[in-house]
Structure 1
Amino acid sequence: MSAVAVFTGIGVAAPNGLSTPVWWKATLNGESGIRPVSRFDAARYPARLAGEVPGFDAAEHIPNRLLPQTDHMTRLALAAAQEALDDADTDPAQLPEYAAGVVTASSAGGFEFGQRELEALWSKGGQYVSAYQSFAWFYAVNTGQISIRHGLRGPSGVLVTEQAGGLDAVAQARRRLRGGSRLIVTGGVDGAVCPWGWTAQLAGGRLSLADDPTRAYLPFDAAARGYVPGEGGAILILEEAAAARARGARVYGELAGYAATFDAKPGSEQHLSGVLGLRRAVELALADARLAPHDIDVVFADASGVPDLDRAEAEAITAVFGPRRVPVTAPKTMTGRLYAGGAALDLAAALLAIRDALIPPTVNVTRLAEGLELDLVSAEPRPCPVHAALVLARGRGGFNAAAVVVGAQSH
């Protein structure tokens, strides 16, 4: 029988709250972290809003020796990982040497660190480039730094599938548990709020150019115009259920189902048939969890904010669940899209929705686009028993992922 994977710890660094309790309270109160960019002067750029993690002083969270060798997003990841391990009340050092590992997601790597070193190269010369540039920019740097800091020598890795990565990493962590590991630190923290990263994001053509934080990122709304990018995410502790029970761990829920698909090539037979890759991912994730559509109490949407992509997601949800048959929410309207960190943060929200019997709101969306038949939870949290939640994520390039989490006693 396959190992059952359960979540025992959550650590959060989000634009509307640093730490899980602060972020969750702000989320339920509908408090947004989207505001004008402060990490650099964005006045000359067409997009000037971002979700930035507030009040983060790296020196308060990580050893001084790590400051010269880490990018801002790695520092956020290290802080979230420490919170998650503390929340799980576990010390990996007490486990067998290779029993615990790290699997995270990334889409950008250390862009801000890389920009700074490139500036040194251009303006001063190669001898002024930090030796840490050799790894501080790399996609796997969060995995590496977390594993080194906490002595996690078991199976580790990194997934690079943009926004879908947060789910893909957790699914890979489940595979590692099924292979014999006892604990995996997983999830994703991402961000590139710097001129170099900003230019790359603008080149994608999907950023909102609005200056009003309340009207810039409006997924599924008739006034949708793109998305606001952000930084942050969540780090989660995934454990083999029997091992977690044996040490008396508090369990938030189980990763009961997961699936990943790719969108069909435009013009292909599958594409012309209208069968969406996201819909197939939902169906496969439900089958993996051995649940039917009526068993799902809430869907955490990918919520692109791009009208055509929103419509495709809404149609996939409706095709599986029926028109307005399941509550749908997108609390990322309060953070912006966090790339590899976004779906991990949605998983954290799903687990806390199960714990508190509250579905967090989708703020600022006031009028659904014509033809979208969604029961969107907007403005206020919705009290509702949540036994099973579906989390959706799509990455640029055709990546789709779906994950089902259930309460500790639900499956």
Structure 2
Amino acid sequence: MTGENGEGKGKVVVTGLGIAAPNGLGVENYWAATRSGTHGIGRIARFDPSRYPARLAGEIEGFAVEEHLPGRLIPQTDRMTRLALVGADCAFADAAVQPGDLPEYDMGVVTASSSGGFEFGQGELQNLWSKGSQYVSAYQSFAWFYAVNSGQISIRNGMRGPSGVVVSDQAGGLDAVAQARRQIRKGTRLIISGGIDASICPWGWVALLASKRLSTSDDPERAYLPFDAAADGHVPGEGGALLVMEDLESARRRRAPRIYGEIAGYGSTFDPRPGSGRGPGLQKAVELALEDADTGPEEIDVVFADAAAIPELDRIEAEAIAKVFGPRAVPVTAPKTMTGRLYSGAAPLDLATAFLAMRDGIIPPTPHVTLADEYDIDLVTAQPRRASQLRAALVLGRGHGGFNSAVVARTCGR
């Protein structure tokens, strides 16, 4: 179990967002689509899915990499990394940060990854099998790797401070943000953190199918239904979010144009092995995050659910929320039903969405879901909900195999 109470008292804030999502590229495009309940899920277009039992995904359309990155980078990067590089550029622009103007050891990169550059790796393996080793790109040595997004972002922007990658599936994006906060509290001036994943290719698809958690529905509006009586698996997607994080006083000194809010608390646990007789660890992760944030349950205004859409996992999450906050005592939302589960990018996107929700006083909806009677939570479903007071949000992420992470995001008015 991990909480961070006492590690450091300096406030770490988010000053820039970079978002790539199936229902919108860029912060405001994504937020407009999410507020209105517009989803980006459809039949897979990047390859022919007809032979597979699951055929839907949240894919990013209209991304012309040539318009954003120099030609030399394109042959050496996977789609995941291209999206991450552009997302980082957007986050820096949003924060009004020019990395070249800062000392290189004062900046770091901490990202999460669930799959690595699967599409790039598949292409090079096909070249190996069909043509021979001389046709395998030298870039295969790193383009497939889990740490490649951190590496390429740091190289492109001259960021040589504390950096790394976290691999804990859907929980990884929150774990990366927590690691970034830890390094900033130790003295690093600025870190870009979060996660962007993209593995919608045959090799990646087979790996996703192995989890046996994918929906096999062909109806985009009925395929991903967490907390619904018809829940039967999730829809994968590609994308995520990157966040520029700084010490609050440092951000104020440089007159950052906006401060979205504070990464106020973090907690993580790992579920016990099956058959141990011990309960799951999600509730404890939430309690650790609240303790770390010095925040009572009554102060949380919205929960962004992990939303597995597997009945047993939904039950565990709903029970954890109800036990901590009380039955139907706090609004709960799962906007990832509009994008699919983005793996390491899912929770950072929820975190970015939480900051936008607090900025505008709007809780985004969970479209197409009808809350089953067995779940004692206040799920925001078809329409967004206006909130007169939206100052603190809890974001949850769970990874396959037992990872549980929770982050409290808060406005800086406190």
Q: Determine which of 378, 381, 387 is the counterpart of 1:378.
A: 381
Q: CA deviation at 1:125?
A: 0.3
Aligned with 2:271 (options 250, 263, 266) = 263
Q: Does 1:217 align with 2:205?
A: no
CA deviation vs aligned residue, 1:349-375 (integer Å, no higher than 9, x gap): 000011000000001102x22311110
In the superposition, the TM-score normalised over structure 2's length comes to 0.97
Distance (Å, rounded) in 1 between the aligned partners of 2:87 and 2:267? 26
- What are the superposed Cα offsets for residues 152-183 of structure 1, whole Å, 9 maximum, x if unpaired? 11100000000001100000000110111010
Query: Deviation of residue 114 (structure 1)?
Result: 0.2
Q: Which moved more, 1:73-82 or 1:368-377?
A: 368-377
Alignment of 1:160-175 (within 5 A): 160-175=167-182
Q: How many angstroms apart in 2 are the aligned matches of 1:115 and 1:139?
A: 15
**Is the counterpart of residue 393 in structure 1 residue 397 in structure 2?**
yes
Partner of 2:130: 123
Whole-Å separation in 1 of the counterparts to 2:71 and 2:242: 22
Aligned to 2:192: 185
- The residue number in structure 1 matching 2:244 is 237
Q: Distance in 2 between matches of 1:116 and 1:265?
A: 37
Give the Å deviation of 1:62.
Answer: 1.0
| Shift of residue 97, structure 1, vs aligned partner | 2.6
Other-structure match for 2:3:
none
Structure 1 residue ranges without an equivalent (≥5)? none
- Offset of 1:95 from its aligned partner? 1.8
Per-residue CA deviations over 1:281-303 (Å, capped at 9, x if unaligned) read 00000000000000000000000
CA–CA distance in structure 2, aligned partners of residues 212 and 96 of structure 1: 51
Residues 1:337 and 2:341 are matched in the alignment: yes
- Residues 228-267 of structure 1 deviation map (CA, whole Å, 9 limit, x = unaligned): 0000000100001110000111100000000110001223
Question: Alignment partner for residue 404 of structure 1, among 404, 408, 411?
Answer: 408
Identity of aligned residues (%): 65
CA distance in 1, matches of 2:247, 2:72: 33
- The letter for the 2-side match of 1:263 is D
* Correspondence for 1:60 among 64, 67, 78: 67
Where structure 2 has 5 or more consecutive residues not aligned to the other structure, the ranges are 1-7
Match of 2:261 among 253, 260, 285: 253
- Say which SS state the counterpart of residue 307 (structure 2) adopts: coil
CA distance in 2, matches of 1:4, 1:326: 25
> What secondary structure does 1:64 align onto?
coil
Q: How many residues end up aligned between the 2 structures?
A: 405
Deviations 1:361-409, CA, capped at 9 Å, x for gaps: 001102x223111100011110002100000000011000000000021
Matched residue type, 1:241 = L
- 1:322 matched to 2:332: no
Say yes or no: does 1:352 pair with 2:356: yes
Which residue in the other structure is 2:210 paired with?
Answer: 203
1:313 aligns with 2:313: no
Match of 1:110 in 2: 117
Paired residue for 1:286? 290
Determine the structure 1 residue equivalent to 2:163.
156
Q: Which residue of 2 aligns with 1:134?
A: 141
Q: Secondary structure at the match of 1:365?
A: coil
Q: Point out the more displaced range, 2-11 or 222-231.
A: 2-11
2:411 partner letter:
G
Secondary structure of the 1:101 match is strand
Q: State the alpha-carbon separation in 2 of the partners of residues 94 and 2 from structure 1.
A: 27
Which residue pairs with 1:98 in the alignment?
A: 105
The counterpart of 2:305, out of the listed 285, 301, 305, is: 301
Q: Distance in 2 between matches of 1:240 and 1:198?
A: 39
Counterpart position of 2:4: none
SS of the residue 1:65 aligns to: coil
Q: Distance in 2 between matches of 1:208 and 1:234?
A: 24
RMSD, aligned α-carbons: 0.8
Specify the SS of the correspondent of 2:191. Answer: strand
> What are the equivalent positions in structure 2 for 1:80-91 lying under 5 Å apart?
80-91=87-98
* Aligned-partner residue type, residue 394 of structure 1: R
What code does the residue aligned with 1:7 have?
A: V
SS at match of 2:205: helix
Alpha-carbon distance in structure 2 between the residues aligned to 1:74 and 1:167: 19
Paired AA for residue 265 in structure 1: R
Task: Tell me by how many angstroms 1:24 deviates.
Answer: 0.4
**SS of corresponding position for 1:393:** strand
Q: Which residue of 1 aligns with 2:5?
A: none
Please report the TM-score for the alignment, with normalisation by the length of structure 1: 0.98
Per-residue CA deviation, residues 10-36 of structure 1 (Å, 9 max, x unaligned), is 000000001111000000010000000
Q: 85-94 or 109-118, which moves further after superposition?
A: 85-94
Q: Deviation at 1:57? A: 0.7
Give the AA of the match of 1:25: A
